[in-house]
Amino acid sequence: MLLNKVIEKDNLDKTNAWPFVEAKKLLRERKSFITKKGKIILQTGYGPSGLPHIGTFGEVARTSMMVNALRQLTDTPTEIITFSDDMDGLRKVPENVPNQELLNNNLHKPLTQVPDPFEKFSSFGEHNNEMLKDFLNKFNFEYNFQSSSVLYKGGFFNPTLQIILENYQGIMDIILPTLGKERQKTYSPFLPISPDTGKVLEIPVLEILKEKSKIIFDNNGKKLEVSILDGNCKLQWKVDWAMRWYALDVDFEMYGKDLIESAILSSRIIKLIGKTNPSGFAYELFLDERGEKISKSKGNGITIDQWLEYASPESLSLYMYQNPKRAKKLYKEIVPKTVDEYLDLIEKAKNQNELQLLMNPVWHVHNGLIPKEDTIMSFSMLLNLVETSNADSKELLWKFVKKYKKNLLEKEHPIFDNLIGYAIKYFNDVIKLKKKYKTPNASEKVALEALVKSLGGCNDKMLPEDIQTLIYSTGKENGYTENLRDWFKLIYEVVFGDENGPRMGFFISFFGVNETKELIKEKIK
């Protein structure tokens, strides 16, 4: 992916946009390793025990933003490995998939050995992997997908697994102090795959046969002798993470705040077996509207597909860019605010110098190629327009918009054209269901009737600011001198069924003076 131009070194040195900060840190910490291999490898991890969610996308999007920064800082080639831990055992049945009984009957088997409940692929793991790849491809991400099952069974991990076995006791000395007394008795870094049931077993070790690359386990009183190679065993999570870093020679990986302790232990393990841990970046977690962590198995929050029904991929990327080290709520009502921020940042970019552009999130969203399109109106305003115009298709809403903005051409406004479709969908799916229109009392009705009368002295050629001033004056003259906020809240609740709404002067200048008068009259009948 090409950048539009080379940024001046002085500006690269000065910017404190987080992708550049982290890229510089990576180049500093891994300088000798990167120079030796002539490549920078960044990894993102995915556990396909449930359908891909926005957190998964966020990891790839943010890592891609770092790659964009790296390409301004160095000529060294970069690669993002998107790794799927699909040999992990299915621990619980996700709530948001069909055929629950089928999955329940295959608990603890590697995800690539669990039948696909959607009956589309050879396994549940493969189904979720393909969903992830399809999604990442829609965003044109550059990545190298790697499957845990393929690398274990194909022998790629064999040399590193033997190193892990050679350092078995050292790894136990790192992990055991972090476990409870009962867990210490049964813990093993290696998890054998049962030759009888196909399940991933968590059973104690009886004997290590290093020269044969085998382990003898205690399987409920029976000896189970298993090779650690070729996918006959997999590693426990923290050891597996370190092994992956070692085998794939990873230079950077970001991870959720909940994995900080795991990252510390995995870093100690990779140092024990002979390499230095990659640079890391711990991001805060995504929460749903109740403040609960978003979970693949629960399917809470907003899904990737839902966001893309209501807003552009670029708006989702913007949401991922902003404040990665702050916990963020992620649900449907977040969408309009994020879209409006996106439009506002595009407008600001038009008058920014190079250093300011590097601090503008849309530079990172668009990899330096920021759209030049002029903003016609905010997404919030467009949502109000969907309601007041009763438009139920893009064609109808475009006709309504062109009634007041006659010179607009769809082909010159692709962002706005898409926005119209998103607004109709979002209004009908989300806003319409929550509308609560206020019935004004006697004094409130008098105030609104006074507003209709005041608008009688306006015309469609008046500036939005002048109309706004007239609305202020009407409010002051009708009992809202002390609190104009309550005046506008009244208008919004009666006209739009919400406590908040558009800047009325702008809305009226676009929607039309007579149309607004009729709209208010209709609402206060």
Quick check: 498 and 381 in contact, CB under 8 A? no
Q: 352: helix, coil or strand?
A: coil
Residue 421 sits in the same domain as residue 454: no
| pLDDT tens digits for range 336-383 | 999 999 999 999 999 999 999 999 999 999 999 999 999 999 999 999
As a whole number of angstroms, the distance between CA 8 and CA 367 comes to: 16
As a whole number of angstroms, the distance between CA 373 and CA 170 comes to: 59
| pLDDT tens digits for range 466-518 | 999 999 999 999 999 988 999 999 999 999 988 888 889 988 988 889 989 99
| pLDDT, average across residues 260-282 | 97
Q: What are residue 203's phi and psi, to 5 degrees?
A: -135, 155
* Average pLDDT value over all residues in the chain: 93
| pLDDT, average across residues 148-158 | 98
Quick check: is 344 in a domain?
no
Residue 470 sits in the same domain as residue 416: no
As a whole number of angstroms, the distance between CA 398 and CA 345 comes to: 24
Quick check: is 321 in a domain?
no
SS3 content of the chain, % helix, strand, coil (to 5): 55, 10, 35
Quick check: is 18 in a domain?
yes
- What's the gap between Cα 264 and its chain centre? 25
- Per the model's pLDDT, the better-predicted residue between 259 and 459 turns out to be 259
CATH number for position 52: 3.40.50.620
Residue 519 sits in the same domain as residue 455: yes
Residue 414 sits in the same domain as residue 492: no
Q: Structure pTM?
A: 0.86
Quick check: 261 and 159 in contact, CB under 8 A? no
Q: 478: helix, coil or strand?
A: coil
CATH number for position 456: 1.10.10
Residue 398 sits in the same domain as residue 452: no
| pLDDT, average across residues 171-184 | 96
Quick check: 314 and 291 in contact, CB under 8 A? no
Strands 279-283 and 252-256: parallel
The proportion of the chain whose per-residue pLDDT surpasses 70, expressed as a percent, equals 98
Domain boundary among 246, 271, 287: 287
> What per-residue confidence (pLDDT) applies to 267?
98
Residue 101 sits in the same domain as residue 149: yes
Residue 267 sits in the same domain as residue 411: no
Residue 141 sits in the same domain as residue 265: yes
In the predicted structure, residue 301 carries a pLDDT above the cut 70: no
What residue numbers does the annotated binding site for ATP cover?
A: 296
As a whole number of angstroms, the distance between CA 84 and CA 330 comes to: 24
DSSP per-residue string spanning 278-332 = PEEEEEPPEE-TTSPBP-TTTT-S--HHHHHHHS-HHHHHHHHHS-TTS-EE-SG
| pLDDT, average across residues 227-241 | 98
> What per-residue confidence (pLDDT) applies to 1?
40
Quick check: is 44 in a domain?
yes
Lowest mean pLDDT among 15-19, 30-34, 160-164, 433-437: 433-437
What residue numbers does the annotated binding site cover?
A: 296
| pLDDT, average across residues 81-91 | 96
| pLDDT, average across residues 21-42 | 97
Q: How does 277-292 read in b/e, with b if 16+ C-beta sit within 10 Å? A: bbbbbebeebbbeeee
In the predicted structure, residue 297 carries a pLDDT above the cut 70: no
> Angle 237-248/158-166 helices, nearest 10 degrees?
120
Residue 392 sits in the same domain as residue 503: no
Residue 248 sits in the same domain as residue 135: yes
Residues contacting 125, CB < 8 A, separation 6+: 48, 84, 86, 87, 110, 111, 112, 113, 114, 149
Structure tokens at 328: 């963020």
Q: What are residue 173's phi and psi, to 5 degrees?
A: -65, -30
As a whole number of angstroms, the distance between CA 88 and CA 193 comes to: 10
Single-letter code of the amino acid located at 166: E
> Cα angle vertex 367, ends 366, 371, to 5°?
35
Q: What are residue 42's phi and psi, to 5 degrees?
A: -115, 140
> What per-residue confidence (pLDDT) applies to 459?
86
Domain boundary among 287, 306, 329: 287
Q: What are residue 79's phi and psi, to 5 degrees?
A: -145, 135
> What per-residue confidence (pLDDT) applies to 293?
74
> What per-residue confidence (pLDDT) applies to 54?
77
Q: What's the domain count of the chain? A: 3
Quick check: is 187 in a domain?
no
Q: What are residue 228's phi and psi, to 5 degrees?
A: -85, -5
Residues contacting 303, CB < 8 A, separation 6+: 51, 53, 54
| pLDDT, average across residues 232-260 | 97
Quick check: is 373 in a domain?
no
Residue 130 sits in the same domain as residue 76: yes
Q: 502: helix, coil or strand?
A: coil
- Per the model's pLDDT, the better-predicted residue between 291 and 197 turns out to be 197
Quick check: is 362 in a domain?
no
The proportion of the chain whose per-residue pLDDT surpasses 90, expressed as a percent, equals 77
Q: 240: helix, coil or strand?
A: helix
> What per-residue confidence (pLDDT) applies to 2?
42
Q: Could you give the residue ranges of the DSSP H alpha helices within 350-393?
A: 354-359, 361-365, 379-389
Residue 511 structural domain: 442-524
Single-letter code of the amino acid located at 466: D
Quick check: is 263 in a domain?
yes
Residue 300 — very low, low, confident or very high, per pLDDT cuts 50/70/90? low
Residues contacting 56, CB < 8 A, separation 6+: 46, 132
CA atoms within 13 A of residue 259's CA, in its CB half-sphere:
16
Residue 298 — very low, low, confident or very high, per pLDDT cuts 50/70/90? low
Residue 464 sits in the same domain as residue 517: yes
CA atoms within 13 A of residue 365's CA, in its CB half-sphere:
24
Domain boundary among 395, 417, 434: 434
> What per-residue confidence (pLDDT) applies to 295?
63
| pLDDT tens digits for range 380-393 | 999 999 988 888 89
Rounded to a whole number, what is the largest CA-CA distance in the chain? Answer: 95
For residue 273, which of 251, 242, 250 has the smallest C-alpha distance? 242
Lowest mean pLDDT among 209-218, 247-256, 292-301, 494-503: 292-301
